[in-house]
Amino acid sequence: MDNVIVVSVLILSGIAVLAAVILYVIAKKFKVEEDPRIDLVAECLPGANCGGCGYAGCRNFAEACVKDFAGKVCTAGGNDVMKKVADVLGVEAQAADAKIAVVRCQGSKDCRPKTNSYEGAKTCAIVAATYGGETGCAFGCIGLGDCENVCQFGAIKVNKETGLPEVNDEKCTGCGACVKACPKIVIELRKKAVKFRKVYVSCVNKDKGATAKKACSNACIGCGKCAKTCPFGAITVENNLAYIDFEKCKMCRKCVEQCPTGAIREENFPPRKPKEEAPKQLNTPSGADKVEVSKEPQKINLEKPSENKE
């Protein structure tokens, strides 16, 4: 009996040693030469595999960076990550504009009344493929959260009360996954500004003014007041819808005051104290006074960001 145990242990050990030798030889002979920098670069990346860079995942992006660094941007990691990657590769990093997701719809449950109710599968993609949606506005947010489901960073959540998604500015990396997931193209990537300040037309309704307004009290009616007001020529009105070019916009917020429906939104600005008092005093239709007053908040706002930088 003892012999059987000894023999089997010996035979198995022999097989194990033989296998180890074979494996060692094969591993040596067929070794894939890989640039060690790929691992180093991959370590710098966020590792969320969000696909914002256009590659299948972070490792694919790392491989691409090692091959040719020029022009590659990790949208999720931003300039900080790219700087680390550049250090690893020993090249100069180019600064790219950081982006942030913006939801261009204010059709909350209060201001965009329901005209019908949907009982089908609960995803935005299917609603958009089926019909115009539960409200009179066939352009706006559906609110079933396809964006929330694709976000790898937990940065966008549908607010149950308003029925609209909200972006968490701190968490949003600008990878653009939600932009791709949104069937109505409501979400847009815009340039990230100081303190997450944003001025944008929060509406995508291309219907004529009266139709749009009937469907949603916050809709852009394409009146063009904002485009006339903008001193920088950043606003264009096309198909009854205004759009602010973020490359040209200086965030003076004159358009926000002009918008009759509140479709243009400003976010993360300090409250405008001078403006609240000003209209009360200013009941005279004198145009000169108005210009003076509306200039005041602009001056303050232009100064404030520079103060913050200091």
Partner 1 sequence: MEFKTFTIGGVHPADKKITAGVAIKPLAIPATVTIPCAQHIGAPAEIIVQKGDKVKVGQLIAKANGFVSANIHSSVSGTVKMIGPVADVSGYTKQAVTIQVEGDEWEETIDRSPEIKHNIDDFKPEDIINKVHDAGIVGMGGATFPTKVKLSVPLGKKAEAVIINAVECEPYLTADHRVMLERGEELMVGTQLIMRAVNCENAYIGIEQNKPDAIKYLTDLSAKYPGIKVVPLKLKYPQGSEKHLIEAVTGRQVPSGRLPIDVGAVVDNAGTAVAIYEAVMKNKPLFERVVTVTGDSVKNPGNFLVRIGTPISALIEAVGGLPEDTGKIISGGPMMGKAVTTTEIPVAKGTSGVLILPETLAHRGEVENCIRCGKCVDGCPMGLEPYLLAALAQRKNFEELENNHVTDCIECGCCVFSCPSNRPILDFVRFGKQSVMKIIRARKK
Residues lying near partner 1 in the complex (CB under 8 A) are found at: 115-116, 119-121, 125-126, 129-133, 138, 207-208
Q: Minimal distance in Å, beta carbon 116 to partner 1?
A: 5
Whole-angstrom Cα distance, residue 103 to residue 47? 25
Q: Least distance from C-beta 122 to partner 1, angstroms?
A: 8
How many CA atoms within 13 Å lie on the side-chain side of 193?
Answer: 21
CA separation, residue 201 to residues 103, 107, 250, 256, 264 (Å): 10, 13, 14, 9, 4
Least distance in angstroms from the C-beta of 119 to partner 1: 5
The DSSP 8-state label assigned to residue 98 in this structure reads: -
User: CA dihedral defined by 213, 217, 222, 223, rounded to 10 degrees?
Assistant: 100
Nearer to partner 1, 240 or 301 (CB): 240
> 208 or 299: whose CB is closer to partner 1?
208
The nearest distance, CB 152 to partner 1, in angstroms, is 16
Cα separation values, 298 from 7, 29, 54, 139, Å: 91, 70, 39, 32
Which residue pairs from 133-138 have beta carbons closer than 8 angstroms and sit at least 24 positions apart in sequence?
A: 135/107, 135/215, 135/216, 136/112, 136/211, 136/214, 136/215, 136/216, 137/107, 137/112, 137/205, 137/207, 137/212, 137/215, 137/216, 137/219, 138/207
CB of 13 or CB of 116, closer to partner 1? 116
- Contact yes or no for 127/118 (Cβ under 8 A): yes
Q: Report, in Å, the least distance between residue 115 CB and partner 1.
A: 5
CB of 222 to partner 1, least distance (A): 14
Closer CB to partner 1, 207 or 257, in the complex = 207
Q: Which is nearer to partner 1, 150 or 278 (CB)?
A: 150
To partner 1, the closest distance from the beta carbon of 105 in angstroms equals: 17
Q: Which is nearer to partner 1, 132 or 305 (CB)?
A: 132
Give the residue with the Cβ less far from partner 1, 105 or 259: 105
* Residue 6: its H or E element: helix 2-29
3-state secondary structure at position 79: helix
